[in-house]
Structure formats: C-alpha cells, structure tokens
Amino acid sequence: MRRTLTKIVTAATVAALALTGCASSDDPADTPNGPVSAADIQAALDAGGEIAVWAWEPTITEVVAGFQRKYPKVKVKLVNAGSGNDQYTALQNAIAAGSGVPDVAQVEYYALPQFALAKSVTDLRAYGAGGLGGTFTPGPWASVNTGGGVYGLPMDSGPMALFYNKEVFDKHDIEVPATWADFVAAARKLRQADPKAYLINDAGDAGFATSMIWQAGGRPFQVDGTSVKVDFTDAGTTQFANLWQQLITEKLVAPVAPWSDEWFQGLSNGTIASLVIGAWMPANLTSGASAAAGKWRVAPLPQWQAGGTASAENGGSSLAIPEKADNKALAYGFINYANAGDGVAIRLKGGAFPATTAELNSPEFLATEFSYFGGQKANEVFAESAKNVVSGWSYLPFQVYANSVFNDTVGQAYVSSTSLQDGLNAWREAAAKYGTEQGFTLR
C-alpha cells in the first residue's frame, strides 16, 4: 500500500512542481519577493544546509528522518516548542526579538491569519505554492489562503464526523442521528435510559463551537484587510445557539472538559457515548480510550437540514515559513516534501489524516479498515466529509486571543443562567474591544 501511495504522491508532486515552476516564471507580478523556481529549491536541497523546524505533530519526526535520507546534505533540527498557544508565544517572542526564529513552524489554521496579517510568515506564492490549489482539499487550502496570499502549506485536516459508541447506542436502541434535532432527541433518550450516561460532553470549547457554526452556515467573522466584523446574530449562528441551548438547559451534555482524564474515562466506559470532532481523532481514541476498542463507529455529521451533506473543519495545522527565517528556499523544500511530497505517505502511515486530494481519493486510503471501529472503513466517511466542507468560512486575525476568552464569555452559559446567545454576544464584545485596541476597524 505504501509503495503505491508513494508513487501517487511523487506523481502529484512532480506535476505540482512542474505547474508551480511555470506559474512562478510566467507571472512575476504574483510573486512579491521575487520568484524562486522549483529548480532553485532543488538546488538548495542538493547544496544542503541546516534548517530549524518547530512542530509538535507526532508524525513529523518520521518525516524529518525520511527527508534527511532523501537529501543527506540537509540537516533538520526538529524542536518541539510546545503545542498550540505555547508554541505561538515562543514563535512570536522569537520574531519580536529577531533571533532564534525557526525556518519552519507548525501553525494551526485558526492561528494562521494572525501571523499572516502581521507579515510574520512568508507569502509562499513566491515559491510556487500558488499552483498547489488542486493538490489540497478545499477546506485546508482555503484556510492557508488568507489576506491575499498563501501563508502555509496544509499539513493535515479535520473534516468533522460523528464518532459514536455503537454498543451503548444498540443497548438503548438509539439510532444514529441524521439531523441535529435527532441528536437532541437521542441525547434525551440516552439520559432517560441511563442517568449516568451522556450522549456528548461539552464544557465550552471555542474550536468546537466555531466548527458547529461553520457547518450551520454561520459566518460570524468577516475580515477584509484590517476591517473586521464580528456578528453572532446571523441565521447559522442562531440556529446553532438555539439547538445547543436545549442540550445545556436540559443538562444533556456531560460537563467534562476535553482532553481531561475524566474525558478519556468517559469515552472508555461508555458514559460519554459520542463525539463530534475532526478526522484526526482515531489515533487519540486508540491510545486514550483503548478499553473501548471495537465498540466505536464513525458516521457522517448530523445535518441542519434533513438530507443535507454539509460539513466543516475542526482543527488542523499548516507548516509556515517565518518571514525572518534564514534559509527559506530550503525551508520550502522541506514543507513541500512534508505536506505535498513523500512526507504525506509517511504521515499517513503514522495515523495522520491527510489534506491532499490524491490521498483522500486513493482506493488504498479509503479501503483502510480500522480495528478500533470494528473493521469499519472510516476513511470513507472522513473523505466524504472533507469534500462537503462549507466554503466561505474565515477566522479572525486575532482568533488566538478570541479563543482564549471564549470560556470567560460563552463558557458562562454552561455554568450559570446566562444563555448561549448572550454568551456569544459577550464574546463579540470582548473580541471587538481587543480588535479595536489592536488597531483594527470594527464594522
């Protein structure tokens, strides 16, 4: 399987490189930093050198090993500078100080606009990334296309799906919900049947809420350069808020924070019977809730309209090149290898979920049977979800901050009489205040 995958990836990469080679030489206007051709990058890779990579994604270690085997003259220094916010802090500090800046940094999609806006990361169109559009699935590709440039290459993606504990569902004769209304009904039914069990946990999670609004068609964040609009009163957002409010009011959500011990225990012992989360979850279930192996299944995301197919992304990261990186050509060679080249196959083997169309459509990938899901070909569900991600979503150019105060505002709806909609409005206030202080124009 791996050999075939590698072949496909190589073919795709060659095609992509050829395309981008043309693009960068034909259209110099599109390349603000002067075009760097595929040949230049190849030359840099052959000449060798040293690059520093900051990433926390576990499969990247194998990618680095594979890359160094292929380009023995390049030395990659892989640093885990913390995950998520911790790493961004370190990165922002390094950029502000102008020293110790890595050549490549992992940046989650929600955080990329912040770095792009500050021009802290490089517009990769100069390196031919503009032509990679067809290589990646639409959701992740849209996420790295921000502020009129391409500021990273998608590494993985998280098209959402419903993970559910089939054993619990069967025991209480609950059908897999096809719509969100069904989902609420299922939550009631389970709670009545077993007072210790919950259909789902939620203690207020910004990533989850924004993904749900995304799927419902809400567009609360609108960004045009430095002019920003935050509005949680559009139809999609209200639809989500009203529905989820029912679950909170009727105490149908387990008040358990994700990634806590209690969470994994609940997933293991069946007291948390489903998850609405990105396609990168299986590896975490396998390691964190191993006791429930074989009991879980994957289904498409419940829909807002019966018969619909709408989906959204949840999480996922890109690899970006800081503007102050020392060795950009080499860095681009690496991220191209990792995200559009041989590295993709290596990462898939490690259990990551791809952001590349070739892999998503490859028969081998789709036919993979997950023993954790009782032999289900779960990738079929994920790949279908990836194709149906609703377009037009954008995050705030200061989403990192906004998400950090989500629980101060929206989170209060989970622990007090505040409604979810009031919480969202308070979130808007906090985000708008910060945006204004930071020099944005709030529409």
Q: Is 92 a binder of another protein (CB under 8 A)?
A: yes
Alpha helix locations (H) across 350-415? 357-361, 363-367, 378-387, 399-404, 406-409, 412-415
Residue 268 CB coordination number (10 Å): 18
Tell me if 226 contacts another protein by CB under 8 A: yes
- Here the tokens at position 279 are 């396609």
Q: Residue 394 is which amino acid?
A: S
Contact flags string 71-90 toward another protein, x per CB under 8 A: --------------xx--x-
Using rule CB under 8 A, residue 117 touches another protein:
yes
The correct pick among 211, 356, 407, 421 for binding another protein (CB under 8 A) is 407
Q: Is 173 in the site for another protein (CB under 8 A)?
A: no
Query: Binding of another protein at residue 404 (CB under 8 A)?
Result: yes
Determine if 270 is a binding residue for another protein (CB under 8 A). Answer: no
Which of 292, 288, 246 lies closest to 269 in space, CA to CA? 292
Contacts of 80 (CB under 8 A, 6+ apart): 54, 55, 56
Instruction: Establish if 237 lies at the interface with another protein (CB under 8 A).
Output: no
**Could you tell me the two tokens for 164?**
């559910």
The answer to the question of residue 147 lying near another protein (CB under 8 A) is no
Return the number of other C-beta atoms located less than 10 Å from residue 34's C-beta.
Answer: 8
Q: How far is the CB of 322 from another protein (least distance, A)?
A: 16
How far is 208 from 211, CA to CA, in rounded Å?
A: 5
Number of residues engaging another protein in binding (CB under 8 A) = 39
β 104-108/145-146 pair status: unpaired
Contacts of 78 (CB under 8 A, 6+ apart): 53, 55, 60, 61, 64
- The gap from C-alpha 320 to its chain's centroid, in whole angstroms, comes to 14
Is 429 near another protein (CB under 8 A)? no
CB nearer to another protein: give 153 or 254: 254
Residue from 11, 97, 118, 291 binding another protein (CB under 8 A):
118
How buried is residue 111: exposed, middle or buried, by Cβ count under 10 Å (0-12/13-18/19+)? buried
Stretch of 101-109, 156-164, 172-180, 263-271 lying at the interface with another protein (CB under 8 A) = 263-271
Out of 256, 277, 292, 355, which residue is the one contacting another protein (CB under 8 A)?
A: 256
Our CB check for another protein shows the closer of 391 and 417 to be 417
* Angstrom distances, CA of residue 278 to CA of 125, 152, 161, 311, 437: 28, 20, 6, 10, 33
Cβ of residue 185: shortest distance to another protein, in angstroms? 23
Q: What DSSP designation does 104 have?
A: E
Among 397, 420, 421, 425, binds another protein (CB under 8 A): 397
Residues in 174-193 that interact with another protein by CB under 8 A: none
Q: Which residues bind another protein (CB under 8 A)?
A: 85-86, 89, 92, 114, 117-118, 203-204, 226, 254-257, 259-262, 265-266, 271, 397-398, 400-401, 404-405, 407-408, 411-412, 414-416, 434, 437-440
